[in-house]
Structure 1
């Protein structure tokens, strides 16, 4: 079965995009950005949970 055009295009495109990521700041920079985003999301979730628990606790205590 002969290769399709999308296979041929993908064969040349994937290494090019990977090269751009490494040239833009390296894999370390890419991983740092992912970790920073995960940390922000975790902080937001913890803040929302704390706010909810504080609200429930205040209502139970009648304040």
Structure 2
């Protein structure tokens, strides 16, 4: 399911951190503190890696 700006704004993590995923490895980490972090999951030479893209709302869905 693709990420939408409305869903991202409403997202809250109550008891534990929550991951919201989009296609091609784009993910949003929603922390219990309310912070939201963009991450890109990819593989390099057979190993899973994660690349930090920024913090929402400073980095918007359009920018990612």
Q: TM-score, normalised by structure 1?
A: 0.20
Higher relative contact order (CA 8 A, sep 6+): 2
Q: Which has the higher strand share?
A: 2
Query: Greater Rg, structure 1 or structure 2?
Result: 1
Q: TM-score, normalised by structure 2?
A: 0.20
